[in-house]
Amino acid sequence: MDFGAELRAALMVAAFAVLGMFIVYATLFLSRLLVGVRPKTGAKLETYESGEVTIGSTEVRVSVHYYLYALLFLIFDVEAALLFPWAPAFDKLGWLGLIEVTFFVLMLVGGLAYAWMRGVLKWVY
């Protein structure tokens, strides 16, 4: 076995890793050097930097269910977007197209059933 070639390849990978880290740290150092370290005061400490005065606490916990609803909406929105072009081409695709779209819809219905069984679609807990 030629361990010399493997050693050269490993050294090349290590050299690129060191070079990559050097570039990252050199860029960070250069930006600190050029801009300087500015204290985070005033508008930078505000929740919204747009100048709007916040009312009440800004540390409000948002339920993860809103995100799950959004993901489910996206999934079924994409399903509709993929089914619209299929409908006019239905007669040209034949049985294979029907089998494919049936499998596609069954996968999505299975995902909806799974989300329903897990209680993701319950709005009030």
The per-residue pLDDT for 41 is: 66
Structure tokens at 19: 């070079």
Residue 93: domain span:
64-117
State mean pLDDT over 62-77.
82
Residue 40 and residue 69 in one domain = no
Residue 122 counted as domain residue? no
The per-residue pLDDT for 15 is: 97
pLDDT tens column, 95-121: 888 898 899 889 888 988 988 888 877
pLDDT cut 90: percent of the chain above it: 22
Residue 41 and residue 76 in one domain = no
The per-residue pLDDT for 39 is: 64
Dist. CA 47–CA 45, nearest whole Å: 7
Residue 70 and residue 108 in one domain = yes
Residue 58 counted as domain residue? no
SS3 16: helix
Residue 69 counted as domain residue? yes
Q: Are 75 and 108 within 8 A, CB to CB?
A: yes
The per-residue pLDDT for 108 is: 87
Q: Are 86 and 92 within 8 A, CB to CB?
A: no
CA 43 to chain centre: 29
Residue 98 and residue 71 in one domain = yes
State mean pLDDT over 19-42.
85
Query: How many domains does the structure of the chain reveal?
Result: 2
Residue 123 counted as domain residue? no
Residue 88 counted as domain residue? yes
The per-residue pLDDT for 90 is: 81
